[in-house]
Amino acid sequence: MRIEALDDVETTRILREQSIGRLGCIADSEPYVVPVNFYFDGRDIFIHSLPGRKIEALRKTGKGCLQVDEIRDTFNWRSVLLFGNYEEIVDERIRHESMKEIFAKTPSMTPVESALMDRSQLPIVFCLRIYRVTGIGESW
Amino acid sequence: MRIEALDDVETTRILREQSIGRLGCIADSEPYVVPVNFYFDGRDIFIHSLPGRKIEALRKTGKGCLQVDEIRDTFNWRSVLLFGNYEEIVDERIRHESMKEIFAKTPSMTPVESALMDRSQLPIVFCLRIYRVTGIGESW
């Protein structure tokens, strides 16, 4: 049994291969966690979202974390936790490119977003500019 | 396509059936998220953990959240988010009972804990006394 911190190669692999993570933020002094689809460009994390409590919280605090795991069973799991500064993508060209990358990775928007898109309301695209990453894993 | 808040029956079902959740807390003014095994007794959430950053954070702030989901695909998913007050189980009898229930649900401790148990170091058992639950789901 090995218990170990993940190295950069393994952390990067997990972030590139996975597309669902759990976004954490602080909303009204409470921790707040939601599942999200994300895209990792090798440096930062891109996420699309509807306006709502998490966006308000991220705008206010300027910080979020993303937890991404691979859990095969109790004895084979890896978990990455990264911390990033929140940056909303407002430049239309970069926004469009980011959306394309997110959708290439996760072929559909969430249904909530699809429904809104039908009514020409665009989801918010934001980036977590990573400033710290930790990873731990376990295997036999 | 239906987008809807989950009712109590569905929320309770998810919490009873699932055994892995993502625990959120606030550590040094940053959001912090880790995967955990949990047990829901119909009222509160029981979790075991090694000492470390999340326990320090939970002790300090007295609050945590747990996000639990069932994600079948982009169009079939449910996510529950509950908020609770942190309470460490110190009574040996209740602690023992809680551990039994957690293990009945998730047959093994994490390997880190197993390794420590071998050296007679007991993991911490704590409870999130739920004060708010929200749930949202999507299905065709």
> Which positions in chain B touch A138 (Cβ < 8 Å)?
110-112
pTM over 0.90: no
Which helix (H) or strand (E) segment holds residue B106: the answer is: none
> Which positions in chain A touch B79 (Cβ < 8 Å)?
34-35
Interface of A with B (CB under 8 A): 1, 3, 20, 22, 24-26, 29-35, 63-67, 69, 71, 74-75, 77, 79, 81, 83, 106-112, 115, 138
Letter for the amino acid at B30?
E
pLDDT number for residue B77: 86
Burial of residue B107, with CB atoms counted within 10 A of its CB: 0-12 exposed, 13-18 middle, 19 or more buried: exposed
Measure CB to CB from residue A3 to each of B29, B75, B111 and give the nearest one: B111
Q: Give the whole-angstrom CA distance, residue A70 versus residue A137.
A: 9
Measure CB to CB from residue A31 to each of B1, B25, B69 and give the nearest one: B25
> Which positions in chain A touch B64 (Cβ < 8 Å)?
31
> Which positions in chain A touch B81 (Cβ < 8 Å)?
32-34
HSE-CB at A138 with a 13 A cutoff on CA atoms is 17
Question: How does A48-72 read in b/e, with b if 16+ C-beta sit within 10 Å?
Answer: bbbeeebbebbeebebbbbbbbeee
| Sequence spans of domains, chain B | 2-139
Which helix (H) or strand (E) segment holds residue B100: the answer is: helix B92-105
- Closest chain B residue to A103, measured at CA: B74
The pLDDT confidence band at residue B76, using thresholds 50, 70 and 90, is confident
**The CATH number, out of the four listed (2.160.10.10, 2.60.40.420, 2.30.110.10, 3.90.1150.10), of the domain defined by the range A2-139:** 2.30.110.10
Angle at A92 between CA A88 and CA A93, to 5 degrees: 110
For A67-86, the pLDDT digits (tens) are 999 988 777 889 999 999 99
**Residue bearing tokens 């606030």:** B26
For A43-52, the pLDDT digits (tens) are 999 998 888 8
pLDDT number for residue B58: 97
What is the average per-residue pLDDT within B33-60? 93
Measure CB to CB from residue B115 to each of A3, A29, A112 and give the nearest one: A3
**What ipTM does the predicted assembly reach?**
0.87
Q: Give the whole-angstrom CA distance, residue A4 versus residue B32.
A: 19
Q: Give the whole-angstrom CA distance, residue A126 versus residue B4.
A: 25
Measure CB to CB from residue B67 to each of A3, A22, A64 and give the nearest one: A22
Q: Give the whole-angstrom CA distance, residue A32 versus residue A53.
A: 9
> Which positions in chain B touch A81 (Cβ < 8 Å)?
32-34
